[in-house]
Structure 1
Amino acid sequence: MSKLISFYKNYKVVSILWLLVSLFCWWLKYFHNRYNNYLIFKGVYYHTLSQVNLYNYYPLEYGDCNHYGPVFSLLIAPFAILPDSIGFLLFTLLNTVVLLWAIHKLPLRTKSKMFIMLFSVVEFANATHYIQFNAVITAIIIFSFLLVEAEKDEWATMLIALGTLIKLYPIVGLTFFVFSKHKYRFIISGLVWLAVFFALPMLISSKHYIVQTYIDWYNSLHSKNMENIGVGSSQDISVMGTVRALLHNPTIPNTPFLLFAAAVFGIALLRFKQYSSLNYRLQVLASALMLVVLFSTGSEHPTYIIAVVGALIWIFMYDKPFTKVNIALLVLLVLVTGLGPTDAFPRYIRHEYINKYMIKAWPCIIAWLMISYQLLFKNFNLSDVRLNSNDVHSLSSKNSSEVVA
């Protein structure tokens, strides 16, 4: 029995589960010729080489169209030049390993990280099944936080700049500037990296083409945003989308909701005396991960790996995570957010309730409101996080002083 308990406590076993999930999704998609999204990603590289519009439809190559920035062409290049079977497999494993690594590096106990991996495996499967880059986006945001904590601001800003020029969401990493001990370095390195990644795709195309492509990207995202807003949209699984769906009113604007989110998040960051608490900083990370999803009209079913990991960091950062409220939230996150839009529920329930009213977002909205309330009013200096001793040495001495033996 003791060996069995030890087995389940070892998060390496859960890591293997993630790898098995990713391999199964690759097998299912590749051998059933259902890997359209990978072909879109691959096309970004070849279309950049050919200097054609990255955001047009190419029905002879794939369905739908690309919405990632031109720098993605260089990131996908090593996979695109390989045969689809190998390139697609390695791309799938990249998403898996990078997010596992990010969770592993969180300054939490091994047991806590194991639970984060375990309870997010359903949402990870969703992202992998849909062949999305969201697992890496999640990792980029987490690593940007961890690198600021480790006073390696120039590497944090590298990830923020790269991620933002791929899929905008990592721009939330700029939040961690307030925790930086080297703000001048953060600003200068951020501007340098932004210029580098802006220009880097010119190496395989041309200056004029890349400048025009960024303009095309903006127009593409603007058009996509307008398409997403509307009752019955498969995207817009957000706070705004939920309200529009519940009130059957697609004309409700985004602006009031975005101002509300900015005000809540911004006011919480004005609690300067809380900055010394690792608890507070981790909770800001959790809130940031959820914020970019819950207040984005582009949020869809597989995007929620970002928000769910944020919610789970918040739940498991404390010594006693399994309170009645947290257990209820965990059940909702797995059953409603994770499995709600899948075949685990009857088609009628999915279409007439879960999808129609954006119910997938509800547990995350509840969790974000609870996180925000605590960020606004809780005294984090009276609480503690139990850290993995192996992670303590990678953090600053101030962080280490918060370790509880």
Structure 2
Amino acid sequence: MMRRIDPVLLLFSAAVLAVTIQKGIVLAHPGNFLLFRDTFHRLVSGADVYNPPAGEMTGFLYSPTFALLFAPFALLPLALGLLLWNGINALTLYWGVTRVLPARAARVALLIVFLDTVRSLQNSQTNALMAGLIVLSFVALERERAIPGAAAILVGTFTKIYPVGAGVLGLMRPRPVRFLGVFVALGLLFAALPLVVLSPASLLATYREWWSIIQRDDALQGQSVMRFVSAMVGSTVPAFPLQLAGTLLLVAPLIAQRVCGSDARFRLRWLCSLLVFSVIFNHQAESASFVVASTGVAIWYVTGSPHWWRTTLLGLVLAFETLPHAFFAPADLYKQVIGPNALDAVPCLLVWLVIQYELWRWPRSSDEPKISPRETLANLA
């Protein structure tokens, strides 16, 4: 008897195909995909990755390792490479969510993030891939598989840096020292990968240039809490103090609570916090980045007890972050009101504060028995 295909998988696959046709064939302008492809070719030819000649696309902010890993997509014809790239992005997120949640909850969560996923695909962004890799790293580490868990985190880290925060998940598991050793060893391997096409001196120079670009971007505020606060006070607020405060709040429950090593539900809730935090305190966040935050919101929503206020918070996230980008929404609503004031970050911030409150008050009594991850997250087996 044939196994029934998940309709949400069909929906995500249809979105991949539709966006590929729209951006790669009809419009022939697949956004960042061209930038990634051109950067790969510059890398293998020994040209300057971060300062292309006049007339070529600029704005590459990723590591030389990412440029090399883009080879499978860059070497294919445009439409086919774009189809594969979009498929990897969308289906990695689908795979991660379906691995960490029971089937029905996973479908609900994926429907919540669907429009944000499509928006990320239309920009040929890496955001859906980042969300999927972070979730898959959690799944691997819950199964005590340090190598695939560390590899998933490092692929994300050498793409957008912030997935490195998922490394904390490995420190919550048995044998954290072993995980740390695996993480460092694989990290050195990933960092050295471009030696396949570059000399050691050229690779070091490329990493220095990448680091200088990252430092220059520290002055940005993005669609973040920092921009919202700046809009409220009427002047630019430095990003670092708010990012430091957010980081301290993020890790505080791990220090205060003693259940992080024994309660998989606590770790799953902290994963939700990390996903949301990675966007709303990110000075480089843009509208397409919010698929990462909405993944955290969606998992938080479907794994919590049903309450009207949780549904209200989800509704606010959809109303301010997701729906303003839909085709039926007035374009000026986002461009003139929501975007300049980073109002799309506010509902996510509210959800994040609730998550932090839940983590801080995490039950230790008999109504929250300590059970194994395999029992808590039913389909991790």
Work out whether residues 283 and 375 of structure 1, in 8 Å CA contact, stay in contact via their aligned partners in 2.
Answer: yes
* Cα distance change of structure 1 residues 403 and 314 upon mapping to structure 2, 3 Å threshold: closer
Once the two structures are TM-superposed, the CA of residue 140 in structure 1 deviates from its matched residue by 1.3
1:282 to 255, 260, 268: 268
Once the two structures are TM-superposed, the CA of residue 342 in structure 1 deviates from its matched residue by 4.8
1:305 to 279, 291, 300: 291
Distance 1:296 1:45 in 2: 26
Work out whether residues 171 and 179 of structure 2, in 8 Å CA contact, stay in contact via their aligned partners in 1.
Answer: no
SS in 2 for 1:105: helix
Distance 1:261 1:60 in 2: 40
1:88 to 55, 58, 82: 82
Once the two structures are TM-superposed, the CA of residue 11 in structure 1 deviates from its matched residue by 8.3
Work out whether residues 113 and 294 of structure 2, in 8 Å CA contact, stay in contact via their aligned partners in 1.
Answer: yes
Question: Which position in structure 1 is the counterpart of 2:45?
Answer: 50
Distance 1:90 1:207 in 2: 31
Distance 1:162 1:267 in 2: 27
Matching of residue 76 in structure 1 with residue 61 in structure 2: no
* Cα distance change of structure 1 residues 274 and 98 upon mapping to structure 2, 3 Å threshold: closer
Matching of residue 146 in structure 1 with residue 139 in structure 2: yes
Distance 2:302 2:5 in 1: 14
Deviates more, 1:177-186 or 1:284-293: 177-186
Question: Which position in structure 2 is the counterpart of 1:195?
Answer: 188
Deviates more, 1:116-125 or 1:45-54: 45-54
SS in 1 for 2:324: coil
Once the two structures are TM-superposed, the CA of residue 244 in structure 1 deviates from its matched residue by 0.9
Matching of residue 295 in structure 1 with residue 281 in structure 2: yes
Question: Which position in structure 1 is the counterpart of 2:120?
Answer: 127
Distance 1:383 1:209 in 2: 58
Alignment deviations for residues 347-380 of structure 1 (CA, whole Å, 9 cap, x no partner): 3322321112111111111100100111111316
Question: Which position in structure 1 is the counterpart of 2:30?
Answer: 35
Once the two structures are TM-superposed, the CA of residue 154 in structure 1 deviates from its matched residue by 2.2
Question: Which position in structure 2 is the counterpart of 1:394?
Answer: none
Work out whether residues 274 and 381 of structure 1, in 8 Å CA contact, stay in contact via their aligned partners in 2.
Answer: no
Structure 2: gaps spanning 5 or more residues = none
Amino acid corresponding to residue 317 of structure 1 in structure 2: T
* Cα distance change of structure 1 residues 304 and 380 upon mapping to structure 2, 3 Å threshold: farther
Distance 2:186 2:141 in 1: 16
Question: Which position in structure 2 is the counterpart of 1:377?
Answer: 361
1:211 to 204, 207, 222: 204
Work out whether residues 274 and 379 of structure 1, in 8 Å CA contact, stay in contact via their aligned partners in 2.
Answer: no
SS in 2 for 1:143: helix
Amino acid corresponding to residue 89 of structure 2 in structure 1: N
* Cα distance change of structure 1 residues 256 and 11 upon mapping to structure 2, 3 Å threshold: farther
Alignment deviations for residues 233-264 of structure 1 (CA, whole Å, 9 cap, x no partner): xxx111111111222212x1122212211221
SS in 2 for 1:272: coil
2:240 to 226, 235, 255: 255
Work out whether residues 137 and 169 of structure 1, in 8 Å CA contact, stay in contact via their aligned partners in 2.
Answer: no
Once the two structures are TM-superposed, the CA of residue 24 in structure 1 deviates from its matched residue by 1.3
Amino acid corresponding to residue 266 of structure 2 in structure 1: Y
* Cα distance change of structure 1 residues 357 and 341 upon mapping to structure 2, 3 Å threshold: farther
1:398 to 332, 350, 372: 372
Percent sequence identity is 24
Query: For the aligned residues, what is the CA RMSD?
Result: 2.1
Question: Which position in structure 1 is the counterpart of 2:254?
Answer: 269
* Cα distance change of structure 1 residues 14 and 277 upon mapping to structure 2, 3 Å threshold: same
TM-score (norm 1): 0.87
Distance 1:264 1:127 in 2: 28
Alignment deviations for residues 261-287 of structure 1 (CA, whole Å, 9 cap, x no partner): 122122100111353222111001100
Amino acid corresponding to residue 145 of structure 1 in structure 2: F
Amino acid corresponding to residue 154 of structure 1 in structure 2: I
Matching of residue 110 in structure 1 with residue 103 in structure 2: yes
Once the two structures are TM-superposed, the CA of residue 198 in structure 1 deviates from its matched residue by 0.7
Once the two structures are TM-superposed, the CA of residue 25 in structure 1 deviates from its matched residue by 1.3
1:168 to 151, 157, 161: 161
SS in 1 for 2:340: coil
Matching of residue 239 in structure 1 with residue 225 in structure 2: yes
SS in 1 for 2:64: coil
Distance 1:273 1:115 in 2: 28
Once the two structures are TM-superposed, the CA of residue 341 in structure 1 deviates from its matched residue by 4.2
Question: Which position in structure 2 is the counterpart of 1:344?
Answer: 328
Once the two structures are TM-superposed, the CA of residue 71 in structure 1 deviates from its matched residue by 0.7
Alignment deviations for residues 141-194 of structure 1 (CA, whole Å, 9 cap, x no partner): 111111111011122122222321221021011111332201121111111101
Amino acid corresponding to residue 374 of structure 1 in structure 2: E
SS in 1 for 2:318: helix
Work out whether residues 42 and 48 of structure 2, in 8 Å CA contact, stay in contact via their aligned partners in 1.
Answer: yes
Once the two structures are TM-superposed, the CA of residue 105 in structure 1 deviates from its matched residue by 0.6
Amino acid corresponding to residue 177 of structure 2 in structure 1: Y
Work out whether residues 279 and 383 of structure 1, in 8 Å CA contact, stay in contact via their aligned partners in 2.
Answer: no
What is the aligned length? 373
Alignment deviations for residues 358-405 of structure 1 (CA, whole Å, 9 cap, x no partner): 1111111110010011111131665669xxxxxxxxxxx82235479x
Work out whether residues 25 and 129 of structure 1, in 8 Å CA contact, stay in contact via their aligned partners in 2.
Answer: yes
